[in-house]
Amino acid sequence: MFIRTYFLFLSVLNIVRSGPVEKKFSLNRRSDGPYPLDEVDKLQDASLAKFEAYLAKHPSKSGCTLETAIKRLEWSDMPEAQRKEYTKAVLCLQSKPPKSPRDKYPGALNRYDDFVATHETLAFELHSTEHLFPAHRLFIWAYEKALREECGYTGYQPYWNWARTADDPINSPLFNGNDSSMGGNGAPSVYPGIPAMGFSKPYDMIPSAGGGGCVTTGPFKNMTVSLGPLGKIVSNIPDNPQADGFGSNPRCLRRDVNKYAAAVTTANYTYALITQAKTADDLENVMLGTPAKNDWGVHMGGHYTIGGDPGGDFFSSPGDPVFYLHHGMIDRIWWIWQMQDPDNRMNVLPGNAPLNDTVDLKWTAKPVMTWDMLTNIGGNNGSFCYIYV
Ligand SMILES: *[C@@H]1O[C@H](CO)[C@@H](O)[C@H](O)[C@H]1NC(C)=O
Ligand SMILES: *[C@@H]1O[C@H](CO)[C@@H](O)[C@H](O)[C@H]1NC(C)=O
Ligand SMILES: *[C@@H]1O[C@H](CO)[C@@H](O)[C@H](O)[C@H]1NC(C)=O
Ligand SMILES: *[C@@H]1O[C@H](CO)[C@@H](O)[C@H](O)[C@H]1NC(C)=O
Ligand SMILES: *[C@@H]1O[C@H](CO)[C@@H](O)[C@H](O)[C@H]1NC(C)=O
Ligand SMILES: [Cu+2]
């Protein structure tokens, strides 16, 4: 049953593996942000009153409310100083000792790599139909917590509104390679593009955008990638010394910041996804791509806008720090979809998780009941208390 959900990201790899309440809450967005609100931002804002009314009827046991929830900002809406603080904290995590078992994960060289090791080793479990949304919600929450508690970061996890970078990702505040970016494009390289299995020509291949080599600019230019790869997209990546990909394989961070993948992440795609999905399963399926409609889906669109190594590898993709911003946007979409009809959507998951189901991220987070992660306002026994702005 989980075949369907990871199929698209996995399949492109050259591997075969197995009562009305008055609205009082207001967001107070940054008024000097560099981008105008897009149709998804506006949809989110327009949904908040309905969500607030729902929360009035179903208050969280922990006392989390829209007012007390912390605010996760879009990358370019974070002040530049905070963007730098964030990347500094990521580098700090990369300098702390790992907690994963040394014998099984000799390639996890630091605390950051612990997250990569978790994702790699639990890949099938984390991407099953019922786990994709809640497990990635927990994963990025645990990462945010580590940045704050283990590296003194004072902000919150940023997200990446793909629409802002869709037209020109290389020159965006995310990828322009300056000190306040998440690092630049990879150096020019030659690779065939990213096969999109199941799609018919010309959609069976996301073309190379000319990058794919080492990232040479920005805060992660010296970063060492170690775990993986299990799926190779770009050329010249050394093999991992262990067949399971957990061995130490030190190499540079590679990217192909890809305008072809980015083109399917403009706001209208995300808007259509959120407004047309009638069920949680629809939301997940359409997000993951629809070969019959030549639609790669925004999930693949975002992953392959990063591309490269390990960003383009289904298993070790969290080894590119932009992963957490990408999945922040996925998490945000889930929330905006729920807010369209909270009475019927705050209590449903894609797939068919048993009531006693749990997600256990091992050395990155304590086990959590899957059904306790449906809400960002009080989920995870009150530990989730955030919104996206
Ligand atoms: C870095 O890029 C951002 C976004 O384009 C821009 O606002 C900022 O001024 C740039 N900083 C430097 C030091 O060039
Ligand atoms: C990269 O490493 C070199 C040599 O150790 C160092 O001088 C430089 O400051 C580092 N750059 C970044 C962005 O960390
Ligand atoms: C979004 O807009 C682009 C450019 O106008 C168009 O080609 C594409 O079909 C649209 N996608 C959807 C899902 O509406
Ligand atoms: C969950 O409940 C089912 C049915 O009662 C049971 O068979 C299963 O062992 C339980 N699983 C866990 C992890 O407790
Ligand atoms: C849930 O939170 C409450 C209140 O903070 C705490 O007493 C309880 O131990 C927590 N339960 C679990 C399973 O963590
Ligand atoms: Cu994942």
In a domain, 1, yes or no: no
pLDDT above 70: percentage of residues in the chain: 93
In a domain, 19, yes or no: no
Task: Looking at the CA of residue 381, tell me the nearest atom of ligand 5.
Answer: 1
Domain ranges, residue 375: 26-388
Q: Is the CB of 276 under 6 A from ligand 3?
A: no
Distance 222 CA to ligand 2 centre (A): 6
For residue 5, pLDDT over 70 is answered with no
In a domain, 235, yes or no: yes
In a domain, 21, yes or no: no
For residue 280, pLDDT over 70 is answered with yes
* pLDDT for position 178: 98
Rounded mean pLDDT, 374-383 = 98
In a domain, 20, yes or no: no
Band (pLDDT 50/70/90 cuts) for residue 25 is confident
For residue 14, pLDDT over 60 is answered with no
320-325 long-range Cβ contacts below 8 angstroms, 24+ apart: 320/253, 320/255, 321/87, 321/90, 321/182, 321/183, 321/220, 321/223, 322/160, 322/174, 322/182, 322/183, 324/140, 324/143, 324/144, 324/157, 325/75, 325/157, 325/158, 325/159, 325/160, 325/174, 325/182
Rounded mean pLDDT, 105-116 = 98
79 alpha carbon, closest ligand: 1
Task: Looking at the CA of residue 220, tell me the nearest atom of ligand 2.
Answer: 13
Burial (CB < 10 A; 0-12, 13-18, 19+), residue 255, is buried
Q: Is the CB of 31 under 6 A from ligand 4?
A: no
In a domain, 87, yes or no: yes
Task: Looking at the CA of residue 173, tell me the nearest atom of ligand 1.
Answer: 4
Q: Is the CB of 354 under 6 A from ligand 4?
A: yes
For residue 13, pLDDT over 80 is answered with no
DSSP symbol at 213: S
Domain containing residue 137: CATH number: 1.10.1280.10
In a domain, 360, yes or no: yes
Number of domains in the chain: 1
Distance 3 CA to ligand 4 centre (A): 22
For residue 102, pLDDT over 60 is answered with yes
Report pTM. Answer: 0.93
pLDDT digit string (tens) for 309-336? 999 999 999 999 999 999 999 999 999 9
* pLDDT for position 94: 98
Average pLDDT over the chain, rounded to whole? 93
In a domain, 17, yes or no: no
